[in-house]
Structure 1
Amino acid sequence: MPVRSRSQPSWSHAADAEPLAEVAHRGFTLVELLIALTLMSILAAVAIPNMGIGRHQAEAAMQTLGSDLLAAQRMAITRQHDIIVEFDVDQRTIHIVDDANDDGTHQSDEHESSHSLGDGVAFGHGGASSDPIGSGPITFRQRTDGHPSVTFHRDGSASEAGGIYVQSARDLAAGSAEGARLLIVDRATGRASWFRYSGGAWRRGF
């Protein structure tokens, strides 16, 4: 009886190899690419705003604080009596007191307005070295209501020269010098000069 040779089915390896090759070379689908791009966008949205945010917060607080000091000085000139600016370090707030009787104290019947430094900002300079004006966070020696303060007189002058340090609360807590800012009030003119900490030194301007 003739013996028939057994032959392998023609599809056994070739049919299996083709799908594997297709899987290996098909790459990413459009849906997979879109998912990957979406995840990258989410990560970037979280990470990028945190880069330098403390510096911008401190700059904004310094500008607002400078405007408040200028307004207090102008009030003293316009109303022809003293205006006291108190710095509440713990509450991150300044109080502007209308010292109508020029007695250097805050009476209960004298008008007061309060302004916060803003979210995420505090008085201080973290790891930044102190300016010759003093170590801060507020260098004025005068005290009003238990807080360091400066008085603007009717001629626009200040009661003393002094400095106010501001920085983001996060950088301050970390002991970083990043984003530290300083306002220095001149006694004779009452004007405030702005400084930023850069390269290990205080430099005028933003």
Structure 2
Amino acid sequence: MRVKRGFDLCCVIPAIILLSPLLLSLAIWIKLDSQGSIFFLQTRVGQGGRLFKIFKFRTMHANTGLKITATTDKRITRAGMFLRRYKLDELPQLFNVLIGDMSLVGPRPEVPDYVAHYPEAVKAEVLSVPCGITDYASIAFRHEGELLATSDNPEKTYIQEILPIKLAYQQQYVRERSLWVDIKIILQTLKVL
């Protein structure tokens, strides 16, 4: 765990410094594009079931309320469309890694409502490690919003069809995890972006 945390900090601190002009520019754009805060904070479930607030750039008009979003959702702002397309809305999660809520690589943290659908044995396994910004499921479902856009009931589709596959990927990560696997997943993530 110390090696993983050390690796995270060695990557995240320089990344935040290098990306600070981009982060500032995006923050200004979000503020000019629509009313509301720059950041979207949402409660997620982390390692051991601990709740924390995940940071994202806000991509939707304020006070929209839903937990999942299809690509064609009318509540997405102009800036939000661009941020989502290039996954730039996820960049503030570097601060979650910095403060220790997350790791660079690990099972993506979910909202408590969706964690309630995890089978107990799977939940124990997936939540046994630090959650992350990226993992196998993040790569496989990088176009999740487009999949949900074709569904008559996006939340049902997510819970019944997408979530079980994501959990299988997350279990695979837990069983294979190593520093080398983390590096491989980071490189695959950068490649698909």
User: Which structure exhibits the higher relative contact order, with contacts defined as CA atoms closer than 8 Å and separated by 6 or more residues?
Assistant: 2
TM interval, short-chain normalised: under 0.3
Return the TM-score normalized by structure 2: 0.26
Structure whose CA Rg is larger = 1
More helix by share: 2
Q: What TM-score results when the alignment is normalised by the length of structure 1? A: 0.24
Structure number with the higher strand fraction is 1
